[in-house]
Structure 1
Amino acid sequence: MKSKYVMLASAMLISVATFAQKDQIKAAEKAFKGGNSQEAVTILQGAESVMANATDAEKAQFFFVQGNSLLDLANKKVDTDKNLSLAAKSFQDLIAVEKASEKLKYSTQAATSVAEIKYKLINNAIEDSKVDKHAESAKKLYDAYLLDKKDTINLYYAASTYVNAKEYTTAFKLYDELKNLNYSGKGVLYMAVNKMSGEENSYATAQERDRYVKIGTHEKPRTEVIPSKRGEIYKNMALILVEQGKTEEAKKSISDARKANPDDTSLTLTEANLYLETKDFDTYKKLIAEVLEKSPNDPDLVFNLGVLSYNAKNNADAEKYYLRAIQIKPDYVNAYLNLAILKLDADKKLFDEIQKLGNSEKDNKRYEVLKKQREVVFKDALPFLEKATELDPANKEVKSTLLSVYRALEMTDKAKELKAKM
């Protein structure tokens, strides 16, 4: 008989707890609807301990009210990062509960809220990066990826941003995840200029873009090929391994990647860059020759060879590759710009020496020599800067550099004409 009383007492306790948690969820919902989200969160915290015994419907309602309350607090800028993360977890728990029970009451609204949180995290991450808060930015991008693992671009950006934050171990872990997913990031963007805003918009398909062009809201359609990011991923993984003293492991990693992706020339360039970094020039030259043999008329490839050479302080080869890229593609604006930068590099040394000169007769004579040498440098860079400005008139940085060169060469009329267009 005694055991019956114990069982009855236990049943009564569960019943009382069930009523209590229902009342708490209702009270929290009322607080949320009344605009007091913090009170709603506090009420629900008191109910968490008994939610294990709740029905699936009650759990779903609990997570729904909790997620909405936390998201509302984040929108009101109350512990934004923390509450966005907690809200996302609540909505994900809700979706999991309803999927298991096959009773979908709140899941559609929850999925919409998860998407909202994802884009808030991405936008907040962009703002963090602008003020050099790279670690915070990277975490938000990774959280955005966890909310929607189909959108792997956020995992890629998170890894890259962890590199900017110098958190190399975490960056390597994320790059390794991208590697295991066989992520390339290769694709095509269909662009058109919005006539109202003047900004260029991108579309997933040519049909979607062409529809806007046809109805007259957009103009200047163009197609942009997004190159594979595998090379950059493996390059950064290799550089991290080299930084950790694991050079041979880095070489093996890229070699394995090339075997798995034999047609991805970006990986060959990455391997060449690694051998360049480790001063194995023979292997570097062999790999470069291999790349050129495969695609001798690929302007992007030839341009990248120029970048590699420039970074290795081999300006003669860099100039050769940039000029070859222009020969293949005469409107290659970045090749003109990089040629100008390469030429202007010589001015830094001359300018630094001028700054150290005094007012003696000897110094004045030296100044005249250096001044003439600087004029030669500016004249060498001038045609490349002018062409880059012609091809990309919206580039303010190029215009500013060209204006400085005009002034240094005392080309007053040209300077006035350019200044009027800025």
Structure 2
Amino acid sequence: MMRHTFLLLAAIFGFSLAAQEGPKITSAVIAADRQDLAEAKSYIDEAGQIIGTKSLSEVRSKDLAKFYYYKGLINFRLTQSSDEAIKALDPDALDKAAEGFKNLIEYEKQIGKERYTDDVKQQLPYLANAYASRGIEASGKEDYANAFIDFQRTYDLKKEFGIGTDTSMLYNAALMAQQAGNNAKAIEITEELIAMNYRGVQYKAKNAATGDPVEFGSKKQMDFSVKSGAVTDPVVEGDIRPDLYITAANLNKKEGDTARYDQLVAEARTKFPENQTLLILELQKYLDTKNYDKALENLNKAIAIDPSNKIMLYNKGVILQTEMNLYDEAIDAYQKALNIDPDYSDALYMTSIVYLDQANEVGKKMNDLPLNAKTKYEALQKEQTAIFEKALPYLEKAHKSNPEDEQVTTALGQVYRALKMYEKALELTKE
């Protein structure tokens, strides 16, 4: 009889152990219903500890589903509380809320019975927004690593549970990864955005009643509001696709993958031929490889897009002058740059260098003459003086525009002495 009594007690005790998470979950639900979040949090955590000691098959499906749901709900309510003491109960409450909701959806799908799935789906957009808000807060504190994690979680959460594909959050994640120095992730996400053809477009309009600006999450929302008469003057702004290519290319180059850099730049140039920055990236590649014909082709395209770009005209002149020995064409390019900015010191100086190089060539001819070739020498000397006189106004203006430039000052002094303008040379020396 004693043996049977012992077995009966063991069975009762075993049942007690098996079922003890149930009362804890029920107590958590009751506390949550009366808004006692501290007590609800304590009970749901205790239930979680008990369940953690068992195989999930030992927990009744009804209890396990309720546990997952209220684990998510109670922890999420903690994060939304206006009471800082309640918020401080668990700094990881938001992540635990997401874990609870995710486990609930997966579990009810597995058992084929949905008790709380619809309730969770109503909470998910708010949960995603909480992650986005936390990411924005972290970004404001320059905690870029955690901001990246939260923006990525926001995107993943919305995508996984069919809330929507929030590409703006993915874009923010890429920016934060880059700021955090996580180039590998920044490259991965930026190239994912490129593959998605992400434009980063903004949809804006004016409030019909107040005239205040209004932003919309999609063109569909904006069009609906326009049709209803709530807003006027709809505008679609922005296209950051070229910038995505530029970012991805530069990050790949920074990480040493020059082949991928070249591939991205070439692809982007095909898609966005009018983009100046991409054109310049390609130009640099041609300069680095000394492919000056292609470099000039790019410069001419850039100038055609923006004829007022003095820097492109100047660079064209430098290539024509220093790499291709096309001096007249170089002067023409410099002159066009000076038509835009008459005080452009670099263009003034390089124009003078064309003339000074010509003067030096004449000087070499003079030095090669025999001592008795006086007539030829004087003719060449006159020719050289005329060339120095051409260079002089450019150097004087360059010096006036940028008196700190030592190259300009040195060249101007040499021309003053060559033209026997010794007082000017002395003044320059005193400066």
TM range (shorter): 0.5 to 0.7
Partners in 2 of 1:271 and 1:9 — Cα distance? 84
Partners in 2 of 1:189 and 1:265 — Cα distance? 23
Which residue pairs with 1:48 in the alignment? 51
Q: Is 1:171 matched up with 2:172?
A: no
Partners in 1 of 2:295 and 2:284 — Cα distance? 10
Report the secondary structure of 2:20's partner residue. Answer: helix
Which residue pairs with 1:63 in the alignment? 68
Partners in 2 of 1:287 and 1:183 — Cα distance? 32
Partners in 1 of 2:103 and 2:67 — Cα distance? 10
Q: For the structure 1 residues 246 and 13, does the alpha-carbon distance in structure 2 shift closer, same or farther, using more than 3 Å as the test?
A: farther
Partners in 1 of 2:260 and 2:201 — Cα distance? 33
Q: Is 1:198 matched up with 2:206?
A: no
Which residue pairs with 1:74 in the alignment? 79
TM alignment of 1:59-208, pairs within 5 A: 59-76=64-81, 78=87, 82-149=92-159, 150-178=165-193, 182-186=195-199, 189-194=202-207, 195-196=209-210, 198-202=212-216, 204-205=218-219, 208=221
Q: Is 1:235 matched up with 2:246?
A: yes
Alignment check: 8 A CA contact 2:205 2:214 kept: yes
- Cα deviations across residues 140-192 of structure 1 (Å, max 9, x unaligned)? 1011112122323322220112112333233234335546xx22213765421
Letter in 1 for 2:50: A
Alignment check: 8 A CA contact 1:234 1:267 kept: no
- Cα deviations across residues 299-325 of structure 1 (Å, max 9, x unaligned)? xxx57x99xx89xx758589xxxxxxx
- Cα deviations across residues 255-304 of structure 1 (Å, max 9, x unaligned)? 5x56xx954558996485266279537669848957997x999xxxx57x
Which residue pairs with 2:379 in the alignment? none
Over aligned residue pairs, what C-alpha RMSD do you find?
4.6
- Cα deviations across residues 340-377 of structure 1 (Å, max 9, x unaligned)? xx99xx9xxxxxxxxxxxxxxxxxxxxxx9xx979xxx
Give 1:33 shift. Answer: 2.5
Which residue pairs with 1:377 in the alignment? none
Which residue pairs with 1:36 in the alignment? 37
Q: For the structure 1 residues 264 and 95, does the alpha-carbon distance in structure 2 shift closer, same or farther, using more than 3 Å as the test?
A: farther
Give 1:26 shift. Answer: 0.9
Give 1:237 shift. Answer: 2.9
Q: Which TM-score applies when normalising by structure 1? A: 0.58
Partners in 2 of 1:315 and 1:163 — Cα distance? 34
Alignment check: 8 A CA contact 2:155 2:170 kept: yes
Partners in 1 of 2:270 and 2:8 — Cα distance? 71
Partners in 2 of 1:48 and 1:197 — Cα distance? 57
Partners in 1 of 2:45 and 2:228 — Cα distance? 52
Partners in 2 of 1:314 and 1:11 — Cα distance? 89
Q: Is 1:222 matched up with 2:235?
A: yes
Give 1:84 shift. Answer: 1.3
Alignment check: 8 A CA contact 1:254 1:267 kept: no
Give 1:54 shift. Answer: 1.9
Partners in 2 of 1:228 and 1:28 — Cα distance? 49
Q: For the structure 1 residues 287 and 215, does the alpha-carbon distance in structure 2 shift closer, same or farther, using more than 3 Å as the test?
A: farther
- Cα deviations across residues 31-80 of structure 1 (Å, max 9, x unaligned)? 32231343234323323313612233322211111011111111135258
Q: For the structure 1 residues 119 and 100, does the alpha-carbon distance in structure 2 shift closer, same or farther, using more than 3 Å as the test?
A: same
Partners in 2 of 1:7 and 1:265 — Cα distance? 84
Alignment check: 8 A CA contact 2:273 2:279 kept: no
Partners in 1 of 2:127 and 2:142 — Cα distance? 22
Note the residue ranges of structure 1 that are not aligned, 5 or more in a row: 319-341, 347-368, 375-422
Partners in 2 of 1:13 and 1:39 — Cα distance? 24
Report the secondary structure of 2:92's partner residue. Answer: helix
Give 1:201 shift. Answer: 2.2
Which residue pairs with 1:20 in the alignment? 20
Report the secondary structure of 1:47's partner residue. Answer: helix
Q: Which TM-score applies when normalising by structure 2? A: 0.57
Report the secondary structure of 2:232's partner residue. Answer: strand
Report the secondary structure of 2:234's partner residue. Answer: strand
1:251 to 258, 262, 275: 262
Alignment check: 8 A CA contact 1:31 1:39 kept: no
Give 1:254 shift. Answer: 4.8
Q: Is 1:276 matched up with 2:291?
A: no
How many residues are matched? Answer: 307
Report the secondary structure of 2:95's partner residue. Answer: helix
Q: For the structure 1 residues 43 and 223, does the alpha-carbon distance in structure 2 shift closer, same or farther, using more than 3 Å as the test?
A: same
Alignment check: 8 A CA contact 1:162 1:171 kept: yes
Note the residue ranges of structure 2 that are not aligned, 5 or more in a row: 160-164, 317-339, 345-396, 403-431
Alignment check: 8 A CA contact 2:286 2:292 kept: no
